[in-house]
Each structure stands twice: as C-alpha cells, then as structure tokens.
Amino acid sequence: MRLSAAPFVLLTALVLSPSLHAAQPLLPEATAYTSRDSWRQPIAPFALADRTWYIGTEGLGAVLVKTDAGAVLIDGGLPQAADMLLANMRQLGVAPSALKLIVHSHAHIDHAGPIAAIQRATGARLVTNAESAVLLQRGGFDDLHFGDDMLFPPAHADRIVMDGEVVELGGIAFTVHFTPGHTPGSMSWTWTDTKNGKPVRIAYVDSLSAPGYTLIDNPRQPRIVDDYRRAFAVVRTLPCDLLLTPHPDASGWKLGESNTPTTLTCRAYADRAESAFDNTLREQRDTAAKGKR
C-alpha cells in the first residue's frame, strides 16, 4: 500500500493559517431534497397490460414496456430508485442491455432522478423534447419555479422529439403529446397494449399541478396560464382506456392498498386539475388586486 503525505500537508497548512480567509462567508451548505416516505416505498412490480408493467414505488410512477426488440422505461422516480428499477427489470426478465429507450414526463428530481444512472447502467437512449433536454442537462439547476432547490444527476438527451412525434420500438408506437405547464417541457405519452385479448390504449399523462407557482405576471414564464390551458385541452382528448400519472394517486391509484384501481378518465383528470388551477389563479388574482388598491 502506498501512503501519500499530501492530505497531512494540506491539513497542516489549514490549521496553521486559520485567519487567512476568516472574513469571508462560508459557501452555502448543500441542500438535501426530502420527500414523502411513500415516494421511497418499493412495491412488487405488477402488470398493467400484457407488455406494460408498473415498476415504480408506491408514490412515484415508473413504467416498463417489454417489446420484441427490447424494453422502454417511462420515468424513474427519485435518484435513489435506480438500483430498485434495475432489480425490478431483471425480475421481469429485462437485462440491463435489453433496455433500449428511456422516455419521461418532466425534468424534476422526483421523476427524472435516476435517468442518468439508468443510462449509464444500460446504455439505453434517452428520448425527450428540447425544453426538457435543457433542464435534464442542467440537473435541475435554475428551474423556473424552484431555482436550485431540486437538483439531480444531469442526463444527456440522445433524441429530441417534437409534439405528436412517434417513437417506435419492437412494433409498439409511443406518441408524445406536449402538455406544458407543470414544466415548459412536460410530456404525456400514449401507446396501445393488449389485455384479455383486447387492445388497451394507455395514457401516461404528466402532472398538471402548479405547486406554489406564480401564475400571474411571472417574468420567467409570461404565458404560463396559456400553457396550462393548452395542456388541459390536450389531455381531455387523449386515447385513454387506462390512465397513469407520475404521481399515481393523482389519477386515482392507491398503490398502498390495491393494484386494480378505478382510475380517472383523462377527461376527469384534466377537469379536476383545471378546477384546482382556476382556484389558485383566482386566489392569486385577488391577492394581486388587493395589493394594487
């Protein structure tokens, strides 16, 4: 074993010159992102349809679609879910090298967190849109609403898709629908699987919430309200026999209790989200009006 004296020399130098930079403030402490326990609660993978499997945690969606040409992963949850996802894939007969594509909903730590690690472990290609690619590459830095509070390992895009584009693997066509608002690059994905001999049109629809967002006169996203309105309209018309959302409980799943829920329709999901959005908007308009009086 080779010992290096360097750490000792460095330490001595620091100890001997304590006042050299004493007047300067400390650099900021790293801020950790804490989350609900259910978001970190592993559950056994289960089938949503013949080729489509839920492999996420109780509170954060991750979906695996097995095709004849390899598998597709949709979302991953938090960064610390990477090993769990790889183990779940293996359990379903998908070796790391068989994962070919990663697609996702939006570039926040609780959905895109493990993408970089999964890319590294599998070599799968990450498919995203231009808006999300920027945020993924920055690892969440300078988020329009959260600043630098929700950082995650940066991931690089391998393919940029446009609204309505189809990504195909092994005979399954995944259509991307831009549903901006929660992030400017928010995406929803639809594809058709089968169950009990019948086609099932599955919609993995992005978050439509506006958690703590400034909706009026937001200098970073001046057209944020228009963006949300567009997303609500798009979601209402999606092919949608089975709805799943990045936060499963938002679409009626209670995965702590059951894997066979009565989920919302896409229309009901959009309606519910729009009325919550309208309430927030009304509150912010009232507050703004009071401020001007």
> Binding residues for Zn ion, per CB under 5 A?
108
Closest residue to Zn ion, based on beta-carbon distance: 108
Whether 104 is a known active-site residue: answer: no
CA distance 103 to 152: 17
CB of 142 to Zn ion, least distance (A): 15
Whether 145 is a known active-site residue: answer: no
Please state the φ and ψ torsions of residue 254, each to the nearest 5 degrees: -125, 80
DSSP characters over 73-113: EE--BSGGGHHHHHHHHHHTT--GGGEEEEE-S--SHHHHT
CB of 182 to Zn ion, least distance (A): 6
Indicate which residue of 110, 143, 206, 227 is catalytic.
110
CB of 113 to Zn ion, least distance (A): 11
Whether 110 is a known active-site residue: answer: yes
Whether 108 is a known active-site residue: answer: yes
Indicate which residue of 104, 108, 145, 177 is catalytic.
108
Indicate which residue of 182, 204, 206, 227 is catalytic.
182
Whether 21 is a known active-site residue: answer: no
Whether 177 is a known active-site residue: answer: no
Cβ–Cβ under 8 Å, residues 221 and 186: no
Residue 125's contacts (CB-CB under 8 Å, 6 or more residues apart) are 100, 101, 102, 158, 159
Indicate which residue of 104, 111, 145, 177 is catalytic.
111
CB of 246 to Zn ion, least distance (A): 7
Supply the residues annotated as catalytic: 106, 108, 110-111, 182, 213, 247
